[in-house]
Amino acid sequence: MSENSRKKLSPLLAWVVFFGCMGAVFVLGLATAQLVQRKAEGRQLAMVLHPLAPDEPDSSKFKANYPREYNSWEKTKISEGDTKYGGPSKFSWFGRDPNKLTLWAGYPFSVEYNDERGHYWAVTDVKQTKRHRKNNSGEEKGGVFPGTCWTCKSTDVPVLMKQMGVENFYSSDFWSLEGKINHTIGCADCHDGETMNLRISRPALKEAFAAQGKDISKASHQEMRSLVCAQCHVEYYFKGPGKYLTFPWAKGTKFENIEAYYDDEAAGFADWTHDVSKTKMVKMQHPDYEVYLTGIHAYRGVSCADCHMPYRSEGGVKFTDHHVQSPLKNIANSCAVCHRWSEEEIRSRVEGIQDKHHEMLQRAGDAIAAAHKEVGEAIVEGLSDDELAKARDLIRRAQMRWDFVDANNGMGFHSPQESARVLAAATDMGQQARLAVAQARLKRLGKQ
């Protein structure tokens, strides 16, 4: 072909190529549309074959429709192979941190405090814990705990709340509901069984949003991937004689907001009076969501599910791994998706952060334990409540801070700098409490 003839043919060729491309795009588009439709139909078909009620409490009924999600969810049963500071077994924390025995003296937490296990064990463990197997007279299943304790353990809870009314559920005797709670944490806690959309199944979280003037139904999809967890992994208390489950968030979710809530809204609320120092104490409970909110990952829009429920592939199908566990047991699918560091480096960065927090926690705990002891000695010496008021106020505030970091899971990883800030204040206030009691004792000596 000469230069000339090619030039002559080219407009025709261009049109052929143009229409050829148009055709190919059309056919491809059609095929994709059909594929998407078929996928949707496949899912629809599964749901039609096994229709489920929105509140279906029995997770095994979801197995036929969603075998991959179900099978991975079932793995939360595995209780072997701990990490340095966490993992799936229920080891006791007292051997690792004896300060806890002193700091919680007089409160059931000083009877038993084990590391948490996977979701599969929630109902078993809440029934077995020595913290409430006995009542004050030593009687088995004494019923000193309210129904509220079941709230975060079972898919039967939303059903019972509808049947009994939320207030009646909370104020019931814990053991009177035992026979009605048969299923552990499962599908209906986080999903509407009919549509499989993520859902908030517990009223306390909705109410805590409302108390801040926020509407949880406006949360984004990415926020929902953390909010389903925030139904349970948060600080809470039992409000009033009805033991109404309440998150102390009306002033916000940072530590100082929560402290101010307990000072003002809850008017000096106390979970118990400390055995040794007779201080009115607040026990913090796993504020995982609140602490996470202050960290770099929340700031960058990374959700709880991104690390604890990463995507997995099986036979070419991508799905959400429902084996909720320590991400250190599954680094390749969780952290390594975003961070191109070796597994070894990821683990050592996490443990590096955790080792530092462990050390800071010990220092804070040592200071506060010493303060309890010294106030105890001052009581024996006959110092009055007035003379000890300042030291006790400092102890209460110091220990709330220590506990905020201690009870939050992950040993500081979820928000290293915020955890360090709160622990610095805990240590400082613990030492200030010791100074206050020393001054009170000196003053008393001067008077004698």
Residues that bind ligand HEC (CB under 6 A): 59, 62, 66, 69-70, 73, 83, 85-88, 116-119, 121-122, 125, 152-153, 185-187, 189-191, 196, 198, 225-226, 228-229, 231-233, 288-289, 292, 296-297, 300, 302, 304-309, 319-320, 322, 324-328, 334-335, 337-339, 346, 349-350, 409-411, 413-414
- For residues 117 and 143, is the Cβ–Cβ distance under 8 A? no
The amino acid occupying position 354 is Q
Which sign does the torsion angle of CA 377, 383, 386, 387 carry? negative
Nearer to ligand HEC, 117 or 251 (CB): 117
**Residues 340, 345, 349, 354: what is their CA dihedral angle, to the nearest 10 degrees?**
130
Q: Which CB atom, from 357 or from 401, has the smaller least distance to ligand HEC?
A: 357
For residue 398, CA distances in Å to 62, 105, 118, 420 come to 46, 16, 31, 13
Which candidate, 81, 153, 78, places its Cα nearest to that of 122? 153
Are residues 391 and 437 in contact, defined by beta-carbon separation less than 8 angstroms? yes
**190 vs 429 by CB, closer to ligand HEC:** 190
In whole angstroms, give the CA distance from residue 237 to residue 261: 11
Q: Can you say whether the dihedral through the CA atoms of 315, 318, 319, 324 is positive or negative?
A: positive
- Residue closer to ligand HEC by CB (options 271, 351) is 351
What is the number of other CB atoms lying within 10 angstroms of the CB of residue 68? 17
CB of 413 vs ligand HEC, minimal distance in Å? 5
Q: Angle at Cα 207 formed by Cα 149 and Cα 76, nearest 5°?
A: 45
CB of 166 to ligand HEC, least distance (A): 15
Spatial separation of the C-alpha atoms in residues 311 and 307, rounded to whole Å: 9
Q: Is the dihedral of CA 399, 273, 95, 152 positive or negative?
A: negative
Q: By C-beta, is 208 or 375 nearer to ligand HEC?
A: 208
- Report d(CA 319, CA 311) in Å as an integer: 5
Nearer to ligand HEC, 256 or 343 (CB): 343
CB of 294 to ligand HEC, least distance (A): 11
Sign of CA dihedral 202, 112, 124, 334: positive
Q: What's the min distance (Å) between Cβ of 386 and ligand HEC?
A: 42
The residue (of 45 and 337) whose beta carbon lies closer to ligand HEC is 337
- 17: which 2 tokens? 């190529």
Closest CA to 404 of 239, 296, 279, 294: 294
Q: For residue 90, what are the CA distances in angstroms to 97, 115, 129, 288, 330?
A: 15, 5, 11, 18, 19
CB of 17 to ligand HEC, least distance (A): 41
Which is nearer to ligand HEC, 164 or 198 (by Cβ)? 198
> Cβ of residue 247: shortest distance to ligand HEC, in angstroms?
13
187 vs 394, beta carbon nearer ligand HEC = 187
Least distance CB 153 / ligand HEC (angstroms)? 6
- Contacts of 387 by beta carbon, 8 Å cutoff, 6+ apart: 378, 440, 443, 444
Kindly tell me which of 328 and 440 has the beta carbon lying closer to ligand HEC.
328
Shortest Cβ 244–ligand HEC spacing (Å): 17
Query: How many whole angstroms separate alpha carbon 114 and alpha carbon 93?
Result: 6
CA distance 131 to 118: 19
User: Min. distance of Cβ 110 from ligand HEC in angstroms?
Assistant: 18
Minimum Å distance from CB 335 to ligand HEC?
A: 3
Which residue's Cβ has the minimum distance to ligand HEC? Answer: 86
* Closer residue to ligand HEC (CB): 350 or 394: 350
Q: How far is the CB of 54 from ligand HEC (least distance, A)?
A: 14
